[in-house]
Amino acid sequence: MEHSIQCMEVEKQFTGDGITTNALHQVNLKLKKGEFVAVVGPSGSGKSTLLSLLGTLDRPTNGEILYGEQSVSKMKVNEIADFRFENIGFIFQQFHLLPTLTALENVMVPLFSRRVPYNKKERALQLLEQVGLKDKLNSLPSQLSGGQQQRVAIARALIHEPHWLLADEPTGNLDSETGEVIFQLVSQLNKEKGCGVIFVTHDPLLAGRADRIIEMKDGEIISDAAGER
């Protein structure tokens, strides 16, 4: 399957208390395999909603999302779960690590109920070494700094070798120095593994270093420009 992404007239509406909110309005977007893309805009502009739809965590109200020639908008629930496992990794602002599991176990979580053609523990060990946590394998999240927890989350997102890595404010809970380290790590993984990256950020300096900067406002894309990378 070709690993490009295309949004065609994508809309997302939320209804609550009798009020309908248009979170996304007729979004058209094409993303090439391996691109490093920043999504920026004020709070409430639709950034996280777009990321959620691209990551198949939610479905559009109208429109279609294609991965290559495959429409994920029309997949059944069980098909979506398998597709997500095979293609997409997530990094969130909140690290979402399980507090009773070690770093090594947290990285292996996406594989717990999956049969895979490789040794799960060896893959997790390799990734933790790659993100600089070889000496923290048996540490619990409470024993790790924020930056270290985010590194564990990155390793977990990569455990199944996704074609796209989606990151929602991945440096938002970190100090600027640690955030820079995390950004460099994700950028390096993008270059070395060819994994496409879409990251939402409020930091214009980080966004400017992407291949491409997509700016959103009021649920629409108002700018799509090249970055400095």
Q: What is the DSSP track for 102-161?
A: -HHHHHHGGGTT---SS-HHHHHHHHHHHTT-GGGTT--GGGS-HHHHHHHHHHHHHTT-
Helix (H, G, I), strand (E, B) or coil at 181: helix
pLDDT > 70: what percent of the chain? 99
pLDDT of residue 57: 92
Instruction: Flag whether the pTM goes above 0.85.
Output: yes
Q: Which residues pair with 61 in a beta bridge?
A: none
pLDDT of residue 1: 53
Query: Domains of the chain: which residue ranges?
Result: 5-226
Give pLDDT tens digits for 92-132. Answer: 888 899 999 999 999 999 888 778 778 889 999 999 998 99
Cα–Cα distance for residue pair 2/65, rounded to 1 Å = 14
- pLDDT above 90 as % of the chain: 63
Q: Which CATH homologous superfamily contains domain 5-226?
A: P-loop containing nucleotide triphosphate hydrolases (3.40.50.300)
pLDDT in tens, 122-153: 999 999 998 999 999 999 999 999 999 999 99
- Which tens digit of pLDDT belongs to each residue from 148-182? 999 999 999 999 889 999 999 988 888 888 888 88
**d(C-alpha 64, C-alpha 170), whole Å:** 27
